[in-house]
Amino acid sequence: MKEHYLAVIKFPMLVSLSLIILSIVFFSLALSNYHHLGLSAMQTVLFTFMFIVLTVLVSTWILILMSTHQKIKPHSLRLYTTWMLFNIYFYLAKWLGKVFMVKKSTLQESFLNFNNEIILSNFMGIHSKNILLLLPHCLQNSECKIRITSDVIECAECGKCDIAKVKGVVDKYQVNAAVATGGSLARKLIKDNRPDVIIAVACHRDLTDGVRDSWRFPVYAVLNERPNGPCFETTVSVSTIEFAIKKFI
Ligand code: SF4
Q: Where are the domains of the chain?
A: 2-121, 124-248
Give the closest residue (by CA) to ligand 1 atom 8: 144
Torsion sign, CA atoms 57, 199, 121, 14: negative
- For residue 20, give the amino acid letter: I
Distance CA 113, CA 86 (A): 13
Mutate to test the pocket of ligand 1, among 158, 162, 228, 238 (most ligand atoms within 8 A of CB): 158
Give the closest residue (by CA) to ligand 1 atom 2: 155
Distance CA 60, CA 64 (A): 6
Query: Going residue by residue through the chain (249 aa), what tens digit of pLDDT does each one get?
Result: 566 666 679 999 999 999 999 999 999 988 887 777 677 888 888 889 999 999 999 999 999 999 999 999 899 999 999 999 999 999 999 999 999 999 999 999 999 999 999 999 999 999 999 999 999 999 999 999 998 876 788 899 999 999 999 999 999 999 999 998 777 888 888 888 899 999 999 999 999 999 998 899 999 999 999 999 998 999 999 999 999 999 999
Please tell me the distance between residue 237's alpha carbon and the centre of ligand 1 in angstroms: 16
CATH of the domain spanning 124-248, picked from 3.30.70, 3.30.1120, 3.40.50, 3.20.20: 3.40.50
pLDDT at 188: 85
Answer yes or no: are the C-beta atoms of 174 and 129 closer than 8 Å: yes
User: With a 6 A CB cut-off, is 159 part of the ligand 1 pocket?
Assistant: yes
What ligand 1 atom has the least distance to the C-alpha of 155? 2
Count, residues in the chain: 249
SS3 185: helix
Give the closest residue (by CA) to ligand 1 atom 6: 158
Distance CA 81, CA 61 (A): 8
Largest Cα separation within the chain, whole Å, is 78
In terms of Cβ atoms closer than 10 Å to its own Cβ (0-12, 13-18, 19+), residue 13 is middle
Please tell me the distance between residue 239's alpha carbon and the centre of ligand 1 in angstroms: 18
DSSP state letter for 235: B
What ligand 1 atom has the least distance to the C-alpha of 152? 3
- Torsion angle of C-alpha atoms 150, 153, 154, 156, degrees rounded to 10: 140
The per-residue DSSP string of 14-77 comes to: HHHHHHHHHHHHHHHHHHHHHHHT---HHHHHHHHHHHHHHHHHHHHHHHHHHTTTS---SHHH
User: With a 6 A CB cut-off, is 129 part of the ligand 1 pocket?
Assistant: no
Peptide bond into 74 cis (omega under 30): yes
pLDDT tens digits for range 166-215: 999 999 999 999 998 777 888 888 888 899 999 999 999 999 999 998 89
Q: Which residues contact residue 227 at a Cβ distance below 8 angstroms, ignoring those fewer than 6 apart?
A: 233, 234, 235
Please tell me the distance between residue 161's alpha carbon and the centre of ligand 1 in angstroms: 6
Answer yes or no: are the C-beta atoms of 63 and 71 closer than 8 Å: no
User: With a 6 A CB cut-off, is 39 part of the ligand 1 pocket?
Assistant: no
User: With a 6 A CB cut-off, is 141 part of the ligand 1 pocket?
Assistant: yes
